A and B are shown apart, each in its own frame.
Chain A
Amino acid sequence: MPNRRIFIDKISQGWMIASLATILLLPVIIGLALYMKANPLLEQQSLSTLLFSSEWLPSQGKFGFWPFIAGSLYVTLLAFIFAAPVCLFAAIHLTQFASKKLIRWMYPVIDILAGLPSVIYGVWGILVIVHFISDILAPFFNTSSSGYSILAGGIVLTVMCIPYMLNMLIEVFNTVPIGLKEASLSLGSSYWESVKHVVVRKSFPGIISAFGLGIAKAFGETIAVMMVVGNQVKVSGNPFDAGYPLPALIANNYGEMLSIPMYDSALMFAAFLLLVIILSINLIFRYLIHKTTRK
């Protein structure tokens, strides 16, 4: 029955297109909704004031988002600096040098770490990291800190990022064909030279992509960071000081103090900003992947 088959063919194609369109439209719809909600604030104040002013006095109508943007960037940067090399070398060891037994043993560990709820990392941060910073690390650097700090946020975020990044990097390194390693070894390279010149180089776009996804995930992470970062509105270069990342601002305040004029809009703007920054991070890394793949 050809007609019936053509009909089914058309229906199924329609379904697929509809599903794809929903997925593609979702971020656009979310972005638009946030933008519209934030619009009253944007009409009232200039974008540069909102982005780069450090004055956060909602009751006086002053909304400077710089402390939150800076806090987010700082925490994410610390997490990236700690996590990236650790994950890279661990993944290289696991895929290139370790015994298969160790790899089999590592996978469930990584899965468990990745599956732990964010709040558990937060509690662990408060119980261990915050105390470690206030009692040991800060005195070691001749400074004082309550422990609730950018550094605590960065460390907790590092631990949360590691399973994601590690998992992706292991996948990336596993895709390097063994024939390439054989070729390199046959030309007289040592094991490490093969890894450095061939495996890592071949995996470069994948490594960048793993880092990019890790950073994007870290940037949006909310609960665990919020629990240890101190949540004080200030801009400071000192990692022992408290900070206040964007996601924490939204999570802490939405639903409260909405009687203040424009506060609702301001929080929506924060959410919109978060979306734009994460989108930008993704685009930057896409570009880097594209650049390195062509080489």
Chain B
Amino acid sequence: MFTDVEMCEKPDVVSTPYGSTSILRIRNLNVFTEDHHILKDINLDIPKNKITVLLGPSGCGKTTLLKCMNKLTDLYQELKVSGNIFIDEDDVLHSNSNIPAIRQKMGLLSQRPYPLPMSIFKNVAYGIKLQGVKNKSLIAETVERNLREVGLWEEVKDRLHSPGASLSIGQQQRLCLARGLAVKPWIILADEPTSALDPISSKIIEDLFRNLKQKYTIILVTHILRQAVRLADHVVFMNFGEIIEQGKPMELFKNPSTKQLKEYLVDGN
């Protein structure tokens, strides 16, 4: 599928302005459909243990960028992807054989929750079972720990074997987060994770993100300016498939250097 791509040289280790190294490095990423250039020459370094917010209007390519990061673009035959995305030593886009292992380094939280068609317990156990864990007590322990981490344990401990879909939508989203955390990812890819949730559930998710960044790197796609202000350590503003500006949120929002971001900020406020 990616025949038009030449393999890139070893990833360069880049330190970010946040005193941490970058955990994910995107180089010359381009995504096309037959008649549309969706992402144009994206070069981006994601700082470790920070919340990076991909901000921009709908249709600017944020979600596509996020899906490139763990190669979910494979599911969309119409997309042609070129470039390199490095996590650790692996190039995500050119690792066909160990792509399941690479994907496990990146938990996904999508716009609306998709609980797998199985019980709450099995939803969380799914990933580690795929890793080959068979020890039942270890699985039970992992399930409990991760449900506690997202604050869901007390709410579901008496009905662990009910279907995941029986939970409220806010609980489902936390279940999806717990299930992603269970495989010990490095990064959490969150694609407008609060867009289908009520304000209280949204706040719970945002609070969780603030806590989780101690241990994980979070990449959050959003078009809600206030959410970006509340959560971001690093903001990447995108428009029409390009990165327009990026930087620390306060600097960026106070002194936008491009007209596009200025307009977005004015409209957003």
> Residues on A close to B: CB < 8 A?
99-100, 177-190, 193, 197-198, 201-202, 204, 295
Contact = CB atoms under 8 A, between A and B. Distances in A.
Contacts of B67: 182
Nearest to A199: B117
Contact of A197 (B103, B110, B116, B131): B116
Nearest to A99: B77
A100 B111 CA distance: 26
Contacts of A100: 77-78
Given A187-B127, A190-B100, A193-B130, 11 more contacts: A100-B78, A177-B114, A182-B108, A186-B72, A186-B107, A186-B180, A187-B107, A187-B130, A188-B103, A197-B118, A197-B126
Contact of B100 (A182, A188, A295): A188
B72 A182 contact: yes
A42 to B, nearest CB: 47
B116 A184 contact: yes
A188 B104 contact: yes
A186 B77 contact: no
A189 B110 contact: no
9 contacts: A179-B110, A179-B112, A180-B114, A185-B75, A186-B108, A187-B107, A189-B100, A198-B116, A201-B118
B17 to A, nearest CB: 29
Nearest to B122: A197
Contacts of A177: 114
Nearest to A98: B77
B75 A178 contact: yes
Contacts of A204: 117
A183 B110 contact: yes
Contacts of A198: 116-117
B114 A186 contact: no
Contacts of B126: 184, 187, 189, 197
B75 A181 contact: yes
A185 B103 CA distance: 7
A149 B111 CA distance: 56
Contacts of A182: 67, 72, 75, 108, 110, 114
Interface in B150-188: 163, 176, 179-180, 183
A197 B75 CA distance: 17
Task: Tell me which of A180, A188, A190, A197 has the highest count of chain B C-beta atoms within 10 A of its own C-beta.
Answer: A188
Interface string B69-86: 010100101100000000
B104 A187 contact: yes
Nearest to B112: A179
B53 interface: no
Contacts of B108: 182-183, 186
Given A178-B75, A181-B75, A193-B130, A188 B101 contact: yes
Contacts of B111: 179
Nearest to B111: A179
Contacts of B117: 180, 198, 201-202, 204
Task: Tell me which of A187, A188, A189, A204 has the highest count of chain B C-beta atoms within 10 A of its own C-beta.
Answer: A187
Contacts of B104: 186-188
B75 A189 contact: no
B54 interface: no
A197 B183 CA distance: 17
A169 to B, nearest CB: 17
Given A179-B112, A182-B110, A198-B116, A188 B131 contact: yes
Contacts of B189: 186
A25 to B, nearest CB: 37
A184 B115 CA distance: 10
A121 to B, nearest CB: 35
B126 to A, nearest CB: 6
A295 B166 CA distance: 10
A100 B75 CA distance: 12
Task: Tell me which of A180, A186, A201 has the highest count of chain B C-beta atoms within 10 A of its own C-beta.
Answer: A186
A156 to B, nearest CB: 36
Nearest to B163: A295
A136 to B, nearest CB: 41
B75 A180 contact: no
Contacts of A178: 75
A202 B114 CA distance: 11
B232 interface: no
Nearest to A101: B77
Contacts of B130: 187-189, 193
A180 B112 contact: no
